[in-house]
Amino acid sequence: MGKAYVITSGKGGVGKTTSSANIGTALAMLGKKVCLLDLDIGLRNLDVVLGLDNRIMYDIVDVATGRAKLAQALVKDKRFDDLLYLLPAAQNTDKSALNQEQVKEIVDELKPDFDYILIDCPAGIEQGFMNAIAGADSAIIVTTPEISAVRDADRVVGLLEQHPLQEQPRLIINRIRQHMMKDGSVMDVDEITHHLGVELLGIVLDDDAVITTSNQGEPVVLQPENPAGQGYRDIARRLEGESVPLMELKDEVKPTFWQKVTHWFKKS
């Protein structure tokens, strides 16, 4: 029997969808059976990040309204042999097309067949958010070190206290720029964790490759050397119950004079 996690943040653009795709992929790489559920109805993106957008035949609203069976709507990721599936959001309607009972019913139907069900929550705290938490057993809150994102995360933690799930929420701090955190221009990991009073699940460094890989429809966790990918792989292992030490923040190595000169020659 699988467990359902909702990935939420309150604020938009902090990396809910990217985190969903990457954690899902990382869990599939560990051999777990994962179903990703996109609940951002009307503005779906998870399919694009996974590179599955051209394979969609039916969506979650089709399933909820009985136009399609659940098995028909699930899109299989061919890169992972039978381990990673996506239930896409509908694109031609809005959040009000679903209600909490329907989402819960779908999640309950998925649970026996999967180890993990990751629910990608839309931004905001309206009906889309309520739908997303309705089926979940636990929440993963994504924030960035920006004050505005932390404020919104705080609001979401408060809402989750009002509608408690089976397990306490856990926190991912995303898009960390090491030098800014080092020189104190943004809140650091301990400050954010302490402020929100939520257990830390992991940190993910900001990296250009996150954007380039997402544009190509291949999650960054598939790159073995990438630090952001490493962050997501660590998170997946922690979800599996392993204790993995938190990644250390390093000072970014500044290029030496000679490196700059050779770089300059390479350019021309």
Is 13 known to sit in a ligand binding site?
yes
218: contact with another protein by CB under 8 A: no
Q: Which residue has the tokens 């990396």?
A: 15
Stretch in the footprint of another protein (CB under 8 A) among 25-33, 48-56, 63-71, 180-188: 48-56
CA 44 to chain centre: 14
* Residue 54 one-letter amino acid: N
Q: Is 158 annotated as a binding residue?
A: no
Tell me the window of 27-35, 50-58, 131-139, 152-160 that interacts with another protein (CB under 8 A): 50-58
- The residue from 12, 30, 91, 200 that contacts another protein (CB under 8 A) is 91
Residue 13 and residue 61: Cα distance in Å, rounded?
24
Is position 24 annotated in a ligand binding site? no
Is 15 annotated for ligand binding? Answer: yes
Q: In what order do the strands lie in the sheet with 34-38?
A: 75-76, 84-87, 34-38, 116-120, 3-8, 138-143, 170-176, 199-205
Residue 54 contacts another protein per CB under 8 A? yes
Q: How far is the CB of 47 from another protein (least distance, A)?
A: 9
**Integer CA distances (angstroms), 29 to 22, 49, 213, 214, 235, in order:** 10, 17, 17, 18, 13
**143 closest CA partner among 122, 176, 174, 169:** 174
Using CB under 8 A, pick the residue from 13, 31, 57, 263 that binds another protein.
57
Binding site for another protein (CB under 8 A): 42, 48, 53-55, 57, 91-92
Binding residues for ATP: 11-18
